């Protein structure tokens, strides 16, 4: 659909078509933009051009990875585009990560430079000092004019769709996050896929140069950093980036920024429905919204109250493209996530990778039709070829999601095969938390489980057997919470703790999580459950 080969070339093409059209917008409110921000394509190109000169002069290019800790500011996209122009790969960083998590990501990605906001310089400098790998740290607000020289020579290769553009970190099932290498082709294909869906006669209706997409999710995740960004870039649309999600400000910001499309995750619709009704919620210009994981019982209520269709979608970092229940009549009130569309093939298989009949639960596997089934997907896990090939066994990407396909082809989401907890849109690996708590002197055994949460979808429950001589009380729970908050992002810390005298074991002496609670039992009602949610706060 497009002759451009890189994300930066896509910017240049849109500048040529619509230089004065708005591209990046921030609603009024944040301390760095109290009156709001709106940059045109020409504005962004000028800012990107300045950074390109500085990165190039300092010797950065193909073969270098640069970490970006710029939160949700529009500057993140400016640096991303500048790095792409010189051929360097961006490594988006979660600002909630603590020292150990940051150290792992910087070492694992082999980033040579971290560009961060002033408030993160001190802790990133501490990470760099501990790693002793030569990682340079610069303040994007002050020192970017004098970048340190790149530690190695640029690899002289032509920039094209196959060039690595970024590494996104996504939660794995064995504790540490996996780094997904994604190319220019991944980014461009994601935007092109979105546009193709909009031409399919369903709810995904787009108009080049006129749409404004509102997304409050963090840019270090693909759904905000790629899925929302690329279709606007390719169609000369405007990406609206609030500082963060605020239910009370949502409609005010949507109206003020003239949003025509809204993109969110499951907990956002739930939070909006919990707000008191107001005139603002129907005075918007939104044509449709989309996201994954809306509670089916709320779907029809959401559409009736706010006056636009919600399109349920499915996707994952490794795939880039997604399924969507976007054609009418949509199956509102179910967990329908769409049918195989265009070149994206999908089917359901059993544990031995045999196709299962319609109506039978199994794992969702996907691929691109044609000679290259991996085209547009991620290009592999950093330093883990074995996991990459295991995911692609049999020529299909194994998603780890359990689904059921109806005779009409519609795929319905059932559950996650992978042992992940999904809290407010974050995928959290229990093994990472368990590994940390097993290192605490007061813990003998631990099992991390998901627990229902009306606001966040799921919360984290820690089932703990205290070490000998330790008292199982609220003071110990507070101490363990503080320990987790020191070493992990706040959202990974337990929201609930229950102390046990022992935990059930399997014949191989592993904790049997399925035997801890009886079928249908809500752990929140356990007589010894300690609720820590009010103490689980993001640190500044």
Three-state secondary structure along 140-151? CCCHHHHCCCCC
Residues of the chain with pLDDT > 90, as a percent, come to 82
Q: Is the pLDDT of residue 317 over 70?
A: yes
Whether residue 202 is found in the same domain as residue 310: yes
Residue ending a domain, choose from 362, 377, 405? 405
pLDDT for residue 508: 58
Does 232 reside within a domain?
yes
The CATH number given to whatever domain includes residue 237 is: 3.40.50.12780
Would the pLDDT of 1 be above 60? no
Q: Could you give the CA distance from residue 448 to residue 46 in angstroms, rounded to a whole number?
A: 49
> Residue 162: CB partners within 8 Å, gap ≥ 6?
183, 184, 185
Secondary element (H or E) of residue 263: strand 261-265
Classify residue 233: in a domain, yes or no.
yes
Please indicate, yes or no, if residue 372 is contained in any of the structural domains. Answer: yes
Tell me the per-residue pLDDT of 386-424, one tens digit each, with 9 for 90 and over: 999 999 999 999 999 989 999 999 999 987 777 789 898
Q: Is it the case that residue 532 has pLDDT exceeding 70?
A: yes
Same domain, 312 and 440: no
Assess whether 194 and 313 both reside in one domain.
Answer: yes
Cα distances (Å, whole numbers) of residue 358 to 57, 365, 414: 58, 15, 14
Average pLDDT over residues 431-446: 91
Q: Which of 377, 405, 433 is the last residue of a domain?
A: 405
Q: What is the mean pLDDT of residues 413-437?
A: 85
Whether residues 445 and 382 fall in one domain: no
436 lies in the same domain as 401: no
Q: Write down the pLDDT at residue 371.
A: 95
Indicate if 357 and 429 belong to the same structural domain.
no
CA neighbor of 243 nearest in space, from 117, 421, 140, 423: 117
Q: How confident is the model at residue 509 (pLDDT cuts 50, 70, 90)?
A: low
The secondary structure of residue 399, as a DSSP letter, is: E
- Residue 540, domain member (yes or no): no
Global pTM exceeds 0.95: no
Domain count, the chain: 2
Q: What would the pLDDT profile of 240-274 be if each residue is shown by its tens digit? A: 999 988 999 999 999 999 999 999 986 788 889 98
Range of the domain at 146: 7-405
265 lies in the same domain as 370: yes
Q: Are residues 47 and 192 in the same domain?
A: yes
Cα–Cα dist 238/37, whole Å: 12
Residue 190 maps to a domain: yes
Buried b (16+ CB within 10 A) or exposed e, 151-160: eeebeeeebe
> What's the CA gap between 535 and 540, in Å, rounded?
14
Q: What is the DSSP letter of 206?
A: -
Q: Which of 102-116, 124-138, 256-270 shows the lowest mean pLDDT across its residues? A: 256-270
Segment 81-90 shows an average pLDDT of 98
For residues 2 and 231, the model is more confident at: 231
Residue 421 vs residues 160, 257, 387, 446, 452: alpha-carbon distances, Å: 37, 33, 20, 16, 10
Mean pLDDT, the chain, rounded, equals 93
> Average pLDDT in the 532-537 region?
93
Q: Are residues 361 and 449 in the same domain?
A: no
Residue 15 is predicted with a pLDDT of 98
List pLDDT tens digits, range 2-29.
Answer: 589 999 999 999 999 999 999 999 999 9
384 and 434 in a single domain? The answer is no
Residues 449 and 495: their CA atoms lie apart, in Å, by 11
pLDDT of 425 higher than 90: no
- Which residues in 194-207 are b (16+ Cβ under 10 Å) and which e? bbbbbeeebbbbbe
Domain annotation covers residue 69: yes
The span from the CA of 291 to the CA of 279, in Å, is: 24
CA gap 241, 224 in Å, rounded? 9
pLDDT at residue number 540: 55
Question: Structure tokens of 308?
Answer: 């636009």
Query: Same domain for 165 and 42?
Result: yes
Intra-chain end-to-end CA distance of the chain, in Å: 44
Evaluate whether residue 209 is within a structural domain: yes
β 411-416/336-338 pair status: antiparallel
33-84 residue pLDDT tens: 999 999 999 999 999 999 999 999 999 999 999 999 999 999 999 999 999 9
Same domain? 380 vs 458: no
**CATH number of 489's domain:** 3.30.300.30
Residue 416 resides in a domain? no
Closest CA to 82 of 110, 109, 54: 54
* Of the residues 379, 405, 431, the one at which a domain ends: 405
């Amino acid at each position: 659909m497009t002759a451009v080969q890189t994300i930066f070339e896509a910017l240049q093409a849109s500048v040529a078509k619509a230089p004065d059209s708005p591209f990046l917008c921030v609603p009024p409110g944040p301390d760095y933009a109290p009156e709001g921000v709106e940059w045109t394509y020409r504005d962004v190109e000028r800012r990107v051009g300045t950074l390109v000169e500085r990165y190039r002069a300092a010797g950065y290019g193909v073969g270098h990875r640069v970490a970006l800790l710029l939160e949700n500011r529009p500057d993140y996209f400016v640096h991303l585009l500048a790095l792409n122009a010189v051929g360097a790969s961006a490594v988006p960083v979660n600002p909630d990560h603590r020292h150990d998590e940051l150290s792992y990501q910087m070492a694992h990605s082999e980033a040579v430079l971290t560009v961060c906001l002033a408030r993160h310089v001190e802790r990133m400098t501490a990470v760099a000092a501990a790693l002793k790998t030569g990682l340079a740290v610069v303040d994007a607000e002050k020192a970017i004019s004098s970048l340190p020289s790149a530690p190695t020579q640029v690899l002289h290769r032509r920039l094209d769709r196959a060039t690595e553009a970024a590494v996104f970190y996504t939660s794995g099932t064995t504790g540490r996050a996996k780094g997904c290498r994604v190319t220019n082709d991944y980014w461009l294909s994601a935007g092109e896929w979105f546009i193709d869906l909009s031409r399919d006669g369903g709810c995904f209706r787009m108009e080049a140069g006129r749409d404004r997409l509102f997304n409050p999710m963090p840019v270090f995740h693909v759904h905000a950093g790629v899925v929302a960004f690329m279709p606007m870039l390719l169609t000369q649309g405007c990406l609206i980036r609030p500082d963060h999600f605020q239910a009370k400000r949502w409609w005010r910001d949507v109206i003020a920024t003239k949003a025509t499309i809204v993109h969110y995750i499951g907990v956002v619709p739930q939070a909006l429905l919990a707000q008191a009704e107001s005139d603002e919620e129907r005075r918007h210009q939104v044509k449709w919204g989309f996201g994954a994981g809306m509670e089916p019982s709320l779907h029809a209520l959401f559409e009736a109250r706010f006056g636009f269709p919600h399109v349920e979608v499915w996707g994952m970092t490794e795939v880039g493209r997604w399924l969507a229940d976007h054609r009418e009549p949509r199956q509102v009130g179910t967990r329908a996530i769409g049918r195989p569309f265009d070149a994206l093939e999908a089917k359901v298989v059993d544990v031995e990778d045999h196709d299962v009949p319609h109506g039978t639960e199994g794992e969702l596997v996907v691929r691109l039709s044609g000679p290259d089934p991996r085209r547009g997907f991620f290009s592999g896990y950093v330093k883990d070829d074995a996991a990459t090939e295991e995911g692609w066994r049999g020529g299909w990407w194994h998603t780890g999601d359990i689904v059921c396909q109806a005779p009409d082809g519609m795929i319905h989401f059932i559950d996650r095969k992978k042992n992940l907890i999904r809290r407010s849109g974050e995928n959290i690996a229990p093994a990472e938390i368990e590994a940390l708590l097993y290192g605490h002197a007061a813990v003998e055994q631990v099992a991390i489980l998901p627990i229902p949460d009306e606001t966040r979808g799921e919360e984290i429950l820690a089932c703990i057997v205290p070490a000998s001589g330790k008292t199982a009380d609220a003071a110990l729970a507070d101490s363990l919470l503080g320990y987790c908050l020191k070493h992990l992002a706040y959202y990974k810390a337990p929201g609930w703790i229950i102390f046990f005298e022992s935990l059930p074991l399997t014949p191989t002496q592993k904790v049997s999580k399925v035997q801890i609670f009886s079928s249908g039992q809500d752990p929140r009602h356990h007589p010894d459950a300690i609720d820590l949610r009010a103490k689980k706060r993001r640190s500044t």
